[in-house]
Every structure is written in structure tokens, then in C-alpha cells.
Amino acid sequence: MDTIFALATARGKAGVAVIRISGPRAWIAAEALAGNLPEPRVAGLRRLRLGAEDLDEAVVLCFRGGASFTGEDVAELHIHGAIATVAAVLQALGRIDGLRLAEPGEFTRRALENGRLDLAQVEGLADLIDAETEAQRKQALRVLSGAVGQVVDQWRSKLVRAAALIEATIDFADEEVPVDVSPEVLDLIGGVAQDIRRELGRLSAAERIREGFEVAIVGNPNAGKSTLLNALAGREAAITSEIAGTTRDVIEVRMDLAGLAVTLLDTAGLRETEDVVEAIGVRRALERAGQCDLRIFLLDQDEIPLIQPQDGDLIVHGKADLHPTEGLSISGKTGKGLDRLIAEITARLSERASGAGVMSRERHRDALIRAIGALESAQDEVLRGGERAELAAEGLRQAARALESLLGRVDVEHLLDEIFASFCIGK
């Protein structure tokens, strides 16, 4: 097994940078630079040198195999975060025999291979690293702690029970087993199917937490959408001007609203137009706005929106500095009503996020849908009677397989490639 190393912290200038080394030669390599090593799990200040070359002063930390992130011997060099320092230390490590730069995701892959994490936990870890908001962090931590495995194990044990009942009527037909097990089997299948359907419902919410909610600001040209976006984002993200139709593309601003990741979209003003470029912008705006989780309609007094608001959308009257009104009204320019609007948006999104489950990926959705399909077919066969017991059993087997794929018990190779493709070096 090779010994690998990489920068574990983000690239670029920083106070501290951590370089992680993992593998059988990790301690030897660290020792080669640091002279000698502190006890495992005790930080020690060392001068890093390679030959005559002085590299940096660093805090060195060692973990013994079996008690480290990857499961192998690990050494961490906490060095100064200058780009040149990092480059020099990485280069020095590269010159040591038996060491090579880690491939993207390789530390995590080793943690998985050494049984330190299961597949869903790896995904959780990836999410945790990518987490920008509090809700994302909490969700990722739940997955990392094995919540998917627990949920799936519960389902699987029920399906195993259902399968066992059916198999008993097949393999022990000549013995004294109950002839009709269908009530309990249907109960078990129905229960799991209901749970999976509920999880599928929650998956969308969890997916939103993971990927962020999309909120579109829609309204007529020059209604002040861009001004509102900028006010919400607290910075000049969209170009604002007084000329109607300035915003021809969709402009996105990511923000953190009460722990939820939200992408605000400023769209081209909705109006009939002769201008070809603007027409494209309007069409795009309509499409995008329709797909968003929430739309904020920015309207003038008594104006009727061009597209139909969906359930839960917000209707806001703009330019409150010029025309003060009742109801939800704001001014992007003076900031009047902004707090109330933000509170409204947050309340609506939080309500949707509150139903989030532990599964949040397209891969999870696929597996759950396959499991539901197999369970429905099993259900049908059970209802058709004992003559088709082997087909009911086959449905249950397929459902169990689909669920197992969530934890990576089948098609390991394929899954891994897909999961590790989304990883960045050194994590």
C-alpha cells in the first residue's frame, strides 16, 4: 500500500495549512522532515527540514493505524499557510521514497476501505465538508453518524421477516406452517412501503437543504427586482439601473437565511417585447422562476402578475419609499420592510425544511423508487394468493437489494467511482 500525502486544508493564503500523510510510511516520512516525532495524539512543535533545506516551523501530530481517520498510520503537519511554504513542504514530501501525492478523495476512500466509514457516511462526510449553513451541517452530521444505515436496517429487517414468512410457506409446505401468512406479510410490506414513500417525500426537502432552496424574484420591468436582490444580499450582486430590461440574464446570489442555504434569482422583467435578446431573457426567466421553490412577486399597486403565483408564493408591493401601502411592502432603496420580507421567506422555507429526512441524493431517490416498485409488485403477488408466492418473494428480494445499494452492498465498484468523482483532493 502506497503512502499518500496532500494538503488537507483549502488552497490559498491562510494562517495555518494542514498537510496530511497516511500509509505505512507516514511516520517515517514525517520523521524525515521533523527529526523526531511526538507521542501519538500529542501535538509537538518541530522544525521541518529536508537535508540542509529549512522548510518551516510546524505543529506535528501523529495517529496510530486503527485510531486514525483513514485507519492507517497518519501524520499531520500544521504549517504556516503561505502558498510558497505549502508548495515547499509538498515538494519535499514528494522526494521521499514510497510517498506520492494523494488522488482526489483518496484519504476518504481509504477510510471506507478500512471500514472506518460506510458508503452513506462517506457521502455525509462530503456534504459536511461542503456544508455552508447550519441546516446543511446538521443534516450532514446525521448522515455521517450512520443515520441512513439505521433507517435502512430497520426496513430491511422488516422485509427479511416478510420474506421469511413467505419462504416458510414455500420451503416447508409439507410441514406445519401457517397456510396463510398474507395478513402479516401485507402489513410488513405496507409499513415499509409507507416509510419509504414518506422518506421519498422528505428527500426533496433534504435535497433542498443540501443543495439550497431557490427563490426567484419576479415582476414587471423596472419593478425594482435587482434593487431588492442587492438589498437582500447586502452587496452589489446584480447590475441595477433605471432602464427597464437591464437584467437580461438570470442572476444568482447565494445567501444563508437562518441556517438555510438559499439561492436568490433575479430574473428579467416579465413583459411582451420586440427585442430578441430581451425576449430570450424573459422566456428563460419564466422557466426558471417556475422551477423555483418560492417566488417573490414584486408588483406595483393594483398590478396583476403576468404568471400565476403558486401556493405559498409571496406577493410584495415595491418601491414603498415612493408609495407607502398596507400589507407586505418594501423598498430596496431605503430598506423599509426588508426585515419583514426576510422573516416571511425564512418562515416559509423553514416549514418546508422541517420535514427533511436523512436521504438527500438522486442515487437515494433511485434506490427508493426501485424498492417501492418491487414492493408494489410483491404486494400484488401476495394478493393474488399462495400460488404466486415465489413471485412475491422475488419482489421482496429485489426490494432488499435496492435498499442494500444505499449502503453500497452491491455494485460496489460502480458506486465508488461515482461517489469519489465528486471529491476534492486532501479531504
Restricting to residues 135-164, name those near another protein by CB under 8 A: 163
Residue 401 binds another protein (CB under 8 A): yes
DSSP letters for 17-76? EEEEEESTTHHHHHHHHHSS-PPTT--EEEEEEETTEEEEEEEEEEE-TTSSSSSS-EEE
Residue 300 binds another protein (CB under 8 A): no
Residue 416 binds another protein (CB under 8 A): yes
One of 38, 65, 221, 305 touching another protein (CB under 8 A)? 65
> Per-residue string for binding with another protein, 9-48, x by CB under 8 A?
---------------x------------------------
Instruction: Look up residue 271 and give its three cell numbers.
Output: 413583459
In a 3-state reduction of DSSP, which class is residue 334?
Answer: coil
Least CB distance to another protein at residue 397 (A): 7
Least CB distance to another protein at residue 186 (A): 18
Among 151, 219, 163, 169, CA closest to 188: 163
Least CB distance to another protein at residue 406 (A): 11
Helices (H), 334-411: 338-353, 362-384, 389-407
State the DSSP H helix or E strand holding residue 266, giving kind and residue range, or none if neither. strand 260-266
For residues 282 and 276, what is the distance between their CA atoms, to the nearest angstrom?
Answer: 10
Instruction: Look up residue 196 and give its three cell numbers.
Output: 419509504
Q: For another protein, which stretch binds (CB under 8 A), given 28-36, 86-94, 152-160, 171-179?
A: 171-179
In a 3-state reduction of DSSP, which class is residue 219?
Answer: strand
For residues 188 and 265, which CB has a smaller minimum distance to another protein in the complex?
A: 188
For residues 116 and 288, which CB has a smaller minimum distance to another protein in the complex?
A: 116
For residues 173 and 343, which CB has a smaller minimum distance to another protein in the complex?
A: 173
In a 3-state reduction of DSSP, which class is residue 12?
Answer: coil
Residue 417 binds another protein (CB under 8 A): no
Which 8-state DSSP code applies to residue 10?
A: P
For residues 151 and 215, which CB has a smaller minimum distance to another protein in the complex?
A: 151
Could you identify the residue written with the cell 413583459?
271
Instruction: Look up residue 229 and give its three cell numbers.
Output: 436582490
Among 92, 97, 24, CA closest to 58: 92
One of 171, 180, 184, 366 touching another protein (CB under 8 A)? 171
Residue 376 binds another protein (CB under 8 A): no
Q: Torsion-angle region of residue 66: left (phi > 0), alpha (psi -120 to 50) or beta? A: left
For residues 172 and 201, which CB has a smaller minimum distance to another protein in the complex?
A: 172
Residue 390 binds another protein (CB under 8 A): yes
Yes or no: say if 241 and 225 are a contact pair by the CB < 8 Å rule. Answer: no
For residues 228 and 224, what is the distance between their CA atoms, to the nearest angstrom?
Answer: 6
Q: What share of the chain is helix, strand, coil (3-state, %, to 5)?
A: 50, 15, 35
For residues 152 and 257, which CB has a smaller minimum distance to another protein in the complex?
A: 152
Q: For another protein, which stretch binds (CB under 8 A), given 38-46, 77-85, 143-151, 169-177?
A: 169-177
For residues 148 and 270, which CB has a smaller minimum distance to another protein in the complex?
A: 148
# chain residues binding another protein, by CB under 8 A: 42
Helices and strands (H and E) in the chain: how many? 13, 11
Q: For another protein, which stretch binds (CB under 8 A), given 13-21, 183-191, 264-272, 412-420?
A: 412-420
Restricting to residues 72-131, name those near another protein by CB under 8 A: 72, 110, 112-115, 117-119
Residue 202 binds another protein (CB under 8 A): no
Q: Where are the beta strands (DSSP E) in 73-171?
A: 74-80, 99-101
Contact partners, residue 277, CB within 8 Å, separation at least 6: 248
One of 39, 97, 176, 274 touching another protein (CB under 8 A)? 176
Least CB distance to another protein at residue 358 (A): 19
Least CB distance to another protein at residue 92 (A): 25
Restricting to residues 321-360, name those near another protein by CB under 8 A: none
In one-letter notation, the amino acid at residue 31 is E
Residues engaged in binding another protein (CB under 8 A): 1, 24, 65, 71-72, 110, 112-115, 117-119, 163, 167, 170-176, 384, 386-391, 393-394, 397-398, 401, 407-413, 416
